[in-house]
Amino acid sequence: MPGLYLLAIVFSGAGMAVIDARYRLALWRTPLATIVSVAVGVLFFLAWDVVGIVTGVFFQGDSPLYIGISIAPELPIEEAFFLTFLCYLAVLFYSAALRLGEHRARRGRTREDEPRP
């Protein structure tokens, strides 16, 4: 079914955006920093992909899940969406880890302070 892979990426990204909005982790807390971080990551990984394609390491392959639109030879449009998803996910995990650390610091507890089973 063409487009299923892209639909899954977009659906998952929308779910992450809902979590981000609910807990104000990244985009709804520091929009400019989040957008710049994701954009820099996407550009880095797209450059990485181009180097891999030019050297013959990466190739598109044949999948019925792709919609068939390529950004460049051997670079399907789904790759750009996936890289955006990946970078946004990394920013959310980092933001969540910082928030957890702040929460534990406010409570005055660390992992070492917690009782062991």
pLDDT of residue 64: 87
Q: Copy the structure tokens of residue 110.
A: 């660390």
How confident is the model over 35-68, as pLDDT tens digits?
999 999 999 999 999 999 999 998 887 888 899 8
Does residue 110 have a pLDDT over 60?
Answer: no
Domain that holds residue 63: 4-106
Determine, yes or no, domain membership for 111.
Answer: no
Q: What local confidence, expressed as pLDDT, does residue 5 receive?
A: 94
Single pTM value for the model: 0.86
112 found inside a domain: no
Extract the tokens encoding 5.
Answer: 């892979």
**Residue 33 included in any domain:** yes
Overall domain count for the chain: 1
Task: Name, in order, each residue with C-beta under 8 angstroms of 11's C-beta and a sequence gap of 6 or more.
Answer: none
Q: Mean per-residue pLDDT for 14-32?
A: 97
Tell me whether residue 47 is in a domain.
yes
Q: What pairs with residue 75 in β-bridges?
A: 72
The answer to whether residue 94 is domain-embedded is yes
Q: What is the pLDDT of residue 116?
A: 65
Selected residue with higher pLDDT from 49 and 109: 49
Among residues 10, 4, 26, 22, the alpha carbon closest in space to that of 90 is found at 26
State the pLDDT at residue 46: 97
What is the spatial distance between Cα 43 and Cα 36, in angstroms, rounded to a whole number?
10
* CB hemisphere CA count around 88 (13 angstroms): 23
